[in-house]
Amino acid sequence: MPVTLTVNGHRIAATAGLSLFAAAEQAGVRVPTSCVTQGKCKECVVEVTSGMDLLSAPTEFEKHLDIRGGRFRLSCQCRVTADEGQIAYHTMRRGHMRIERNALHLPATHGTTPLDPAVVRAGDRIVDIITGEEVDRSTGPIHGLAIDLGTTTIVIRLVDLETGQLVADTSFENPQRFGGSDVMSRIHYDTEHPGRLLMRTLAGYLSHAIADLPVDPRSIYDVVLVGNSTMRDLFFRHSVYSIGQNPYRSITEIEMAEGKRTTTSLTTTGRRSLLPIHPNARVYGLPIISGHVGADAAACLLALDLAHEDRLVAVMDIGTNTELLVGNRHRLLAASCPAGPAFEGGAISCGMPGLEGAIEDVALNDDGTFRLGVIGGGPPEGICGSGLVDLMSELVRAGRMNAMGRFDEGTDRVTLDADHGVYFHERDVNELAQAKGANVAGLQVVFSHYGIQFDDVEVFYLAGGFGRHLKREASKRIGLIPNLSDAKIVQVGNAALEGATIALVSRARRQEIEALVKRVEHCRLETHPEFFDFFVDGCQFRPVESGDRVGR
């Protein structure tokens, strides 16, 4: 009886000696590669979820995958050694991520921003007007890319820089997760493993994604890139060691404090970026704000037009690292919470990102059964963040889970779909409680530092792909967001990507953000004396009210 291999949900029969790379090809699953399976490019990494003992031992090319319990392998190096059994694995680019094509309810968008790009046409020449240098001699189109480098997800937009029109977009899971699912593990990995493996793997994936865009990649003359401080600095091949050590500063921040640079933004060329774009292209990383509050938060400032905002607003972009911004054009405060990957499906028994097959809606029927909404409409494979929030809210509403996150007596798991083995364990609640506790504590500290209460804000923006799909009532019931009136809560989707796109089409807005980030106060949560107490309170599943204090 041959071995049964399941790759990205596709099943095939395999015999001993077959590599996981070849097996994936047989199953019709494309595995990224730039080295034709020689073990050199490191792009063919896969995550083995069962049957590791039926596979060959790691080769010398796989030494960099020696962490995370040995779940990751190079598929070109790893072969089936058994004659029977079950092996399951998936590529680092599973299915399709949902992309928000249109930013919702944002005060500023690239469509409403006057077109003023950094790279323009001058007759048959293409010129970078920031440097005044000729980039190319061509009468062809001029394209630009806006890239949001998330810890979990990468999103790319292709824009025609002569019309400002969006031409295409694409997204994929960040393949760097073999180096850990959160920022601190990636910093540790990058420091311990020489050779810039995280950057090289990402560059390989970005290159494949760019090559798949419907234009000649050499017509891409400008790239604007945003991401948290670690993701951005890894891309630009800077050491990220200092971001992981108290006082948690990017090398660019340190150099600026030493008078060696005037901005924390970064610029390089297409050639040096390792991307298959025009070699003379400009590649610009937006400035960071401070510490872990990175270029993605700066991009949010642009999309939410906070430089011109008179109302008192708060912004919460929930992710592996949650960004918080509070204030208006007169005073702005920012903070970053290390919430971890739980709300993106990481560290949860049946958790998964918002891909096809993820349960995103959960309703509990009166008879105790569940009504599930699955992305793509097919059978459920797991639960994504918005599904987890719904599920916990429903369990609290029905009294099946208490405020401390404990299930009904005698139960330690809730089965959502027995046929497909999708369940939620009481252990998972702890992971989510801690992620929620960190977010709430961050909010409490920032508001307290600003000297205001939750009710004082006129608009509460929920940014990011996860925030876009949250149900307000469920989020308020479990205390993921403050218990504000629905009229104040505005879900804006990927504001960081929109901010990157605005900076791509407008030099004026780039200058604006360069100046604005220097005015933002950074609230350091890790040193705040009340953070831990707020965190403990925030772990409870109950509404967070304006005026709540520690130890209610």
For binding to ligand FES (CB under 6 A), which residues are involved? 33, 35, 37, 39-44, 74, 76
- Rg of the chain in Å (alpha carbons): 23
Query: In this complex, which beta carbon is closest to ligand FES, that of residue 41 or of residue 383?
Result: 41
Do you know the residue count of the chain? 552
For residue 527, give the 3-state DSSP assignment: helix
Shortest distance, CB of residue 78 to ligand FES, whole angstroms? 9
Residue 536, CA distances (Å) to 335, 341, 434, 441 in order: 19, 19, 8, 8
Query: In this complex, which beta carbon is closest to ligand FES, that of residue 64 or of residue 292?
Result: 64
Query: In this complex, which beta carbon is closest to ligand FES, that of residue 40 or of residue 371?
Result: 40
CA distance 230 to 288: 10
Query: In this complex, which beta carbon is closest to ligand FES, that of residue 34 or of residue 170?
Result: 34
DSSP 3-state percent helix, strand, coil across the chain (nearest 5): 35, 25, 40
**Is residue 458 within 8 Å of 488, Cβ to Cβ?**
yes
CA distance 288 to 248: 13
Beta bridge partners of 401: 407
Cis peptide before 353 (omega within 30 of 0): no
Question: Could you report how far apart the first and last alpha carbons of the chain are, in Å?
Answer: 62
Shortest distance, CB of residue 178 to ligand FES, whole angstroms? 12
Shortest distance, CB of residue 193 to ligand FES, whole angstroms? 15
**Is residue 498 within 8 Å of 106, Cβ to Cβ?**
yes
Shortest distance, CB of residue 212 to ligand FES, whole angstroms? 18
**How many Å separate Cα 326 from the centre of its chain?**
21
Name the burial class of residue 343, with classes exposed (0-12), middle (13-18) and buried (19+) by CB atoms within 10 angstroms of its CB: buried
Query: In this complex, which beta carbon is closest to ligand FES, that of residue 16 or of residue 35?
Result: 35
Shortest distance, CB of residue 75 to ligand FES, whole angstroms? 6
Shortest distance, CB of residue 204 to ligand FES, whole angstroms? 8
* Residue 445: partners with Cβ closer than 8 Å, 6 or more residues away: 335, 523, 525, 528, 530, 531, 534
Query: In this complex, which beta carbon is closest to ligand FES, that of residue 43 or of residue 309?
Result: 43
CA distance 509 to 502: 7
What are the structure tokens assigned to 24, written together? 């994936």
Query: In this complex, which beta carbon is closest to ligand FES, that of residue 42 or of residue 249?
Result: 42
Query: In this complex, which beta carbon is closest to ligand FES, that of residue 35 or of residue 104?
Result: 35
For 401-443, the three-class secondary structure string (H helix, E strand, C coil) is ECCCCCECCCCCEEEEECCCCEEEEHHHHHHHHHHHHHHHHHH
What are the structure tokens assigned to 106, written together? 């944002």
Shortest distance, CB of residue 40 to ligand FES, whole angstroms? 6
Shortest distance, CB of residue 196 to ligand FES, whole angstroms? 15
Shortest distance, CB of residue 66 to ligand FES, whole angstroms? 16
Query: In this complex, which beta carbon is closest to ligand FES, that of residue 58 or of residue 376?
Result: 58
Shortest distance, CB of residue 146 to ligand FES, whole angstroms? 29
What are the structure tokens assigned to 55, written together? 């596979």
Q: Which of 333, 234, 243 is nearest to 285 (CA)?
A: 234
Query: In this complex, which beta carbon is closest to ligand FES, that of residue 41 or of residue 490?
Result: 41
